Structure 1
């Protein structure tokens, strides 16, 4: 009658092997717990690149098309201390406010000027070039 207990033992081992589950290893006493998941603020940005750039663009910028030259103009300061900055052909122009009878005009001593008329029209003069009409791009 010794065969019955041995058969039962072998049957138990065979069933355990067929289940495909390995016994869970016991955690080591000196192993630190895993780090918590990253915070929500560390999540990578989603959406299109253009959408992310639009969110990062300062609210004081205005886009213009000046007869084929596209500029994104940023105005800083107010009143007599106001100035505009924009990039043309890889060169950043920083123009201080200039006196004018109408509109907002910004110019430097080198002959570069930006003169806005209302909210949608402007003129751009670059050193040694003809003046260009500019239209605001929305």
Structure 2
């Protein structure tokens, strides 16, 4: 009758191998989980939202985009009144135009014949040295 204890022993090993035993659950504690590891120390918050929203937040608030008959410019205005200036890049050249006296709109020009003249919030004209005047429309 030695076969019965050997069979019982084999049956116990088989059940243990099959995962018949369950591991006891860890007791619940009132201790909160540890905080996540700290991110690298920066002054900036991590990016959130859509790519367009993040780019809009990153763009300076004093910039305006225009399409001047196929020539796209991003105009940045600095200063106010007689000290105002605009800056933009055309064909790889940065133009910095001071404000000049005008009776209508805001006109910026340099001695080389480059002129940006805005009429209202959405329309302007652009004249580059030696080129024809272009009508510009604000791009939103």
TM-score after normalising by structure 2? 0.70
TM-score after normalising by structure 1? 0.71
Unaligned segments of structure 2, at least 5 residues: 24-33, 40-44
Matched, 1:106 2:108: yes
Unaligned segments of structure 1, at least 5 residues: 24-33
Alignment CA distance shift 1:46-1:8 (3 Å): farther
- CA root-mean-square deviation: 2.9
Alignment CA distance shift 1:89-1:13 (3 Å): same
Q: Pick one of 93, 96, 103 that aligns with 1:94.
A: 96
Q: Pick one of 68, 71, 82 that aligns with 2:70.
A: 68
CA deviation profile, 1:26-74 (whole Å, cap 9, x unmatched): xxxxxxxx993566x54x6453x43432332222222211111111211
Query: CA separation in 1, counterparts of 2:49 and 2:123?
Result: 35
Query: CA separation in 2, counterparts of 1:37 and 1:5?
Result: 54
Alignment CA distance shift 1:89-1:15 (3 Å): same
Query: CA separation in 1, counterparts of 2:6 and 2:35?
Result: 47
